Homo-oligomer: A and B are copies of this chain.
Amino acid sequence: MDPLAIPEIVIGRLPLYLRTLDLLASQGQTVASSQELGSRLGITSTQIRKDLSYFGEFGKQGTGYDIQYLREQLRSILQVDRCWDVALVGAGDLGHALVNYADFERRGFSIAAVFDKDRQKIGRRIERFEVLDAVTLPEVIKERRVQIAIIAVPAGEAQEVADMLVNAGIKAILSYAPITVTLPEHVRVHTIDPIRGLQSMTYYLNPDQS
């Protein structure tokens, strides 16, 4: 099946399904119905079955899904049955938090190198990494054929860093800078902006606060 024939919104939900199955597996559960997954995620069972049906038939009537098997299938579909090297740009507080984030490894990613352009930070250690000079970024990324990067620099530097990453061959970027970066369309970008989430919740809040 052509990967692009499947709606992006469906692809966006698969990691949610996988995450939920991981949780159930860690609790020792071996089988789950679309009903159970749905109620845990707050979506309908029909939607889950429909989403999965784009890729094949993974369940058993009357029973549900074998958790182990469906996890394997989803990992294969999402290509996280391998481990992807990730370049991290920005060795500030957020960079530190990301280096220490244990979930990356468990879920298919491994930080391969940490860069910063600040003289104060270059050469310092963050856990197992030495912070590398950002000018060496292109060669390191090219040499190691890294395809994924995380941007954890201030908003004002993010576009410049993104351009540099793309020139070095990066194909997917997770950006923590609260701006919309503009890139060639063959490069995928996900932006994490915590304020965006907060601001769309305050819309619904009661105005009376002390």
Contact = CB atoms under 8 A, between A and B. Distances in A.
B195 A109 contact: yes
B80 A202 contact: yes
Nearest to A95: B97
Nearest to A39: B182
Given A14-B200, A15-B195, A97-B96, A210 B145 contact: yes
Contact of A94 (B14, B40, B97, B192): B97
Interface in A142-170: 144-148, 150, 155
B93 A97 contact: yes
Given A78-B199, A199-B14, A204-B3, A85 B174 contact: no
Nearest to A106: B195
Interface string A66-97: 00000000000111101011100000111011
Quickly give the copy total for this chain: 2
A113 to B, nearest CB: 13
The contact size tier of chain A is 35 or more
A107 interface: yes
B41 A180 contact: yes
A11 interface: yes
Closest 7 pairs between A and B when the two form their complex, measured CB to CB? A190-B197, A93-B97, A172-B201, A15-B199, A145-B210, A15-B196, A94-B97
27 contacts: A12-B196, A14-B199, A14-B203, A15-B200, A16-B180, A16-B196, A19-B180, A23-B179, A41-B180, A42-B180, A79-B203, A80-B202, A84-B198, A86-B198, A93-B93, A96-B96, A108-B198, A108-B199, A144-B210, A145-B209, A147-B205, A148-B202, A171-B205, A174-B201, A190-B198, A190-B201, A192-B197
